[in-house]
Amino acid sequence: MFLKALGVFGEYNPVSVAIMIQTFCNWLAFVRYGYFSELENSRDAFLAAMSHEMRMPLNSILAMNDLILMDSHDPAILEYASKSKASCQTLLDLVNDIIDYSQMESGQFVIEEGAIPVQELFTSLYALAEPMASRKNLKLFFQFDSPMPARLSGDQRRLEQILSNLLSNALKFTRQGTVLLSVSYQEGLFTASVEDTGIGIPDDAMAHIFERFYRVDKARSRQAGGTGLGLSIVHDMAERHFGTIEVAHRDPVGTRFQVTFPLFAVEEEPE
């Protein structure tokens, strides 16, 4: 039939060719849908499983590097251990991004509500961000613009992830100057902004900055590392907390990210 339709064994028949092509396309679409649906499910399961399996050895390597940094007095060993820890932390961040991405894609992303000890949260954030700031000779400041409750109701791990991601980005793309985290709490709304004196974001990139895998500048992104998922994940997490995230230029240089979402103060339990 195929050869006849093309006129190899007789007269060329355009109607037959059209019908045959449409039939083939329908079959291909059917096969493609089934194949890629199964492939996508397999991909998500594979990414989730492999990412979880990688977390344990990476955390073990980080712990061993911490022990070396605490116990050794050899400058060369301390330098090697510090670089090893930084690289391992970068890899762990990538793994965490992949896990979050696969969970969001598969609908398994869950917000775990609980009491967030505010002082502990920001102590942990500073401990995570300060080493990178020190390595780059940057000034890192945390500022509270209003009184904060002792505890807030929300997902501590996700909140810490949102803020640490914004801090990490600010530190990565700032060569000199300062990075400032400002926090306020008013009438049930938690607001945090991260400002830097870095290279900034071009106007034409502002509208795409929260898209998955989007990179403002591929060259500088390769130097800084990352998957291009971080800000997209932060955006999704903020929305899942019924919040918002905004980005703006900082005058005269740099960038300012601000997240706002409702977090209720937790009443202190009577002793």
Which range has the worst mean pLDDT, 77-81, 99-103, 213-217, 232-236? 213-217
pTM above 0.85, yes or no: no
Percent of the chain with pLDDT over 90: 22
pLDDT reading at 117 higher than 80: yes
Burial 109-135 (b: 16+ CB within 10 A, else e): beeeeeebebeebbeebeeebebbbee
Separation CA 187–CA 267 (nearest Å) = 15
Contact 191, 260 (CB under 8 A): yes
Q: Identify the three-state secondary structure at position 270.
A: coil
pLDDT value of residue 16: 53
Confidence of residue 151 (pLDDT cuts 50, 70, 90): very high
Separation CA 198–CA 178 (nearest Å) = 8
pLDDT value of residue 26: 57
- Pairing verdict, β 139-144 and 255-262: unpaired
pLDDT reading at 265 higher than 60: yes
Separation CA 225–CA 67 (nearest Å) = 26
Pick the most confident of 26-35, 144-153, 206-215. Answer: 144-153
